[in-house]
Amino acid sequence: MTVKNKVVVITGASSGIGEATAKLLAQNGARVVLGARRENRLQEIVKTIQEAGGQATYSVTDVTKPEQVQALVDLAKTEFGGIDVIFNNAGIMPTSPISALHTKEWNDMIDINLKGVLNGVAAVMPDFTKQKSGQIITTSSVAGIKSFPGAGVYGATKFAVRNLMEVIRTESASEGTNIRTVSLYPAAINTELLRTITDKTAKKDMDQFYKAVGIDPIAIARVVNFAIDQPEEVNVNEFTIYPTKQA
């Protein structure tokens, strides 16, 4: 099987990496199901995809709400007859030093970046187990494989989802359910992500850094497309994606 005709659910599809991936996959013949909270953005993206001849639909989804994530997956089944891939991509990155004690943001990151991924996993697992196939792709981060000052809790959520993907892969291999997992570790990608930083110093530093080195989210979309394009017996399961200019 290839990307063509695959049914792909994407969270965090209203901007950045999710938007670029939805557009590229649809261009290559996938049927995409978009979830995020900003309905106007989802409507616009679905319209653009459909006008270009692609197949797409959306459901307003807050990934912290399990019933909304389930509804997104159920929409894939009612609209397109099944689900092949979930791309757990929704996330926020309000970085700050731990000593600043932005504890609400710590909780928000755990709820969205970690529990949101778990909600995606739970929503697809019954179907993937039954059909003995399925792909779970998750946007971790380079902060999920290295420790960066300011990214204590953000990195904790991204290390956590990396572990989750690898455990699902190994359990599925031993249970014979053929569920493939992919962890993405992007570095600086120019999206709307920095808007979630409230710490003034962290925001200033990150704005400058991204301006100097950041690359377009299409880079990640191409990697996701490549992973989905692999044959059923092949699990390409980890990708690090750096801008050439980033040390």
Tell me which residue of 88, 101, 122, 106 sits closest to 12, measured CA to CA.
88
Closest distance between ligand NDP and the C-beta of residue 57, in Å?
Answer: 16
Under DSSP, is residue 48 helix (H, G, I), strand (E, B) or coil? Answer: helix
Closest distance between ligand NDP and the C-beta of residue 126, in Å?
Answer: 21
Taking the CB of residue 21, how many other CB atoms lie within 10 A of it? 30
Q: Could you tell me which stretch among 77-85, 91-99, 120-128, 165-173 binds ligand NDP (CB under 6 A)?
A: 91-99
Q: What is the DSSP letter of 35?
A: E
- Specify whether the CB–CB gap between 240 and 9 falls below 8 A: no
Closest distance between ligand NDP and the C-beta of residue 149, in Å?
Answer: 16
* Residue among 27, 28, 29, 37 that touches ligand NDP (CB under 6 A): 37
The 3 state secondary structure assigned to 207-242 is HHHHHHHCECCHHHHHHHHHHHCCCCCCCCCEEEEC
Which of the residues 154, 185, 210, 242 is marked catalytic?
154
* Residue among 36, 85, 136, 179 that touches ligand NDP (CB under 6 A): 36
Taking the CB of residue 223, how many other CB atoms lie within 10 A of it? 20
* Residue among 188, 202, 221, 224 that touches ligand NDP (CB under 6 A): 188
Closest distance between ligand NDP and the C-beta of residue 188, in Å?
Answer: 5
Q: Could you tell me which stretch among 21-29, 35-43, 127-135, 175-183 binds ligand NDP (CB under 6 A)?
A: 35-43
Tokens representing residue 164 in the block: 């989750």
Question: Between 119 and 148, how does the x/- string for binding to ligand NDP read (CB under 6 A)?
Answer: --------------------x-x-------
DSSP 128-152: HHHHT-EEEEEE--GGGTS--TT-H
Q: Report the length, in residues, of the chain.
A: 247
Is-catalytic flag, 154? yes
Tokens representing residue 197 in the block: 């930083």
Tokens representing residue 116 in the block: 């949101």
Question: Between 212 and 231, how does the x/- string for binding to ligand NDP read (CB under 6 A)?
Answer: -----x--------------
Q: How many residues bind ligand NDP (CB under 6 A)?
A: 31
Give the residues lining the site for ligand NDP (CB under 6 A): 11-18, 36-38, 41, 61-64, 89-93, 112, 139, 141, 186, 188-189, 191-193, 217
